[in-house]
Amino acid sequence: MVVKPKIRNNICLTAHPEGCAQQVQEQIEYIRSNGPVGGPKSALIVGSSNGYGLAARIVSAFGSGANTLGIAYEKPGSEKRPGTAGWYNNLAFEKEARKAGIGAWSLNGDAFSDEMKTQTLSLIAEHIGAVDLLIYSIAAPRRIDAETGQIYSSALKPIGKPFSSKIVDMQGGEVSEITAEPATDEEIEHTVKVMGGEDWMKWIEVLVAAKALTPASVTVAFSYIGPSITAPIYRQGTIGKAKEDLEQTAFAINKKYGDRGVRAVVSINKALVTRASAVIPAVPLYISLLYRVMKRKGLHEGCIHQMYRLYRDFLYAENPKALDSHGRIRLDDWEMREDVQQEVLELWQAVNSQNVENLSDIEGFREEFLRHHGFGMKGVDYEGDVAV
């Protein structure tokens, strides 16, 4: 079929197989062109099909030759509709890894479930032996508790009082205002259950119990802080509570398993266009302004650049860069520079529907959003039939 982008409410409902393969290839070529990072010999990436998780898998494999096992929850294509972008990303990654003689295995299913953890342990035992890096990169809207069967759904809401903010329609460029009502206690609890650190800890527990982690292994989870502009809906909101829980889990893992050689750390990453960030109120407009400022200053990075820097400068450096006062890696250091944030704030105050195309890099936001779904890639025929 001929596959075109279909976007509703900042969500893309289609993905192009050949375009997804091309964007995976470009990330691989970036790593190859920048040289090895001396990273892991074997890596497990929980949440491996998009964004930071996919980039971490690429750096592991093509930056250090690591065998990788990726876990994701994606949908294959059918005769009537294409599959998800992550489905095609995983296929493309595995093809290129095997072509390079690098071991690559993938499991598709619910990472929160006991069944997926059991399957993972079996695959590690059969093909890898043990892993020395666990990347935890889950961005899920809901979770079924493996013990109780209860369904928890995350909410993107402020806490305590309503939050009013500018927002932008990604396609049309219209800037308007939205008010989000505060979350209930139940919504806060559910969001922490889905996006907090409880499942990260469970992965460590089962891996340690099965002796599937090597001595001196490291595990990394991703978080975000962000600016004052997005704080009420992000860091001070429900998702912020979940991120705080995730960060506290790193301390809990180190306390419980540090004497067994397990080191846990949280990486605070840069704001980037992802399927998740595109639907958070205020964030797409903030990112569009941030991109304009950071590109002009020569500071802009994508997921693959951030992950390369994570491995090279922090995880596997001979002299790693210092952590912050809370023991976190700060890959948002360029984003949060005072000069960058001051310029973004000034643009935020001035931006409206009439000047958004000039004051922001909304076009860059659109392009990167589409690239995540395999559209807008050079050398891909988007008018021709493609097998989905």
Active-site annotation holder among 30, 88, 234, 308: 234
Radius of gyration of the chain (CA): 20
Q: Which element (helix H / strand E) includes 23?
A: helix 17-34
Cα distances from 274 to residues 11, 192, 280, 285, in angstroms, run 10, 20, 10, 13
Size of the chain, expressed as the number of residues it contains? 388
| Distance (Å, whole) CA 265 – CA 69 | 20
Supply the DSSP string of 182-207, one letter for each residue. Answer: PPPHHHHHHHHHHHSSHHHHHHHHHH
Residue with the two structure tokens 């890696």: 329
Q: Identify the burial level of 47 via C-beta atoms within 10 angstroms of its C-beta, where 0-12 means exposed, 13-18 middle and 19 or more buried.
A: buried
Q: Identify the burial level of 183 via C-beta atoms within 10 angstroms of its C-beta, where 0-12 means exposed, 13-18 middle and 19 or more buried.
A: buried
308 is catalytic: no
Selection from 252, 241, 291 nearest residue 270 by Cα: 291
Contact 388, 1 (CB under 8 A): yes
**Burial profile 111-143: b = 16 or more Cβ within 10 angstroms, e = fewer:** bbbeebbeebbebbeeebebbbbbbbbbbbeeb
Report the relative pairing of strands 131-136 and 142-144 from DSSP bridges.
Answer: unpaired
- Residue 268 has which token pair? 């605070």
Q: Mind telling me the catalytic residues?
A: 234
